[in-house]
Amino acid sequence: MKQQTATFAAGCFWGVEEDFLKVEGVLNTRVGYMGGHLKNPEYEDVLTDKTGHAEVVQVYYDEETCPYEKLLKAFFELHNPSTIPGTKYKYRSTIFYHTPKQKEIAEGFLKELISAKLYNYKVKTTIVNADIFYEAEEYHQRYLKKLKG
pTM, two decimals, is 0.95
Q: How far is Cα 34 from Cα 57, in angstroms, rounded to an integer? A: 9
Domain carrying residue 93? 3-148
pLDDT of residue 146: 86
- Annotated catalytic residues are 12
Report the number of distinct structural domains present in the chain: 1
Model confidence pLDDT, tens digit, residues 69-126: 999 999 999 998 988 887 778 999 999 999 999 999 999 999 999 999 888 889 999 9
pLDDT of residue 107: 98
Q: Residue 108's domain is classified under what CATH number?
A: 3.30.1060.10
CA 14 to chain centre: 11
Percentage of residues in the chain having pLDDT higher than 70: 100
DSSP the chain: --EEEEEEEESSHHHHHHHHHTSTTEEEEEEEEES-SSSS--HHHHHTT-S-PEEEEEEEEETTTS-HHHHHHHHHHSS-TTTS-SSSSTT-EEEEESSHHHHHHHHHHHHHHHHHT-SSS----EEEE----EEPPGGGTTHHHHHH-
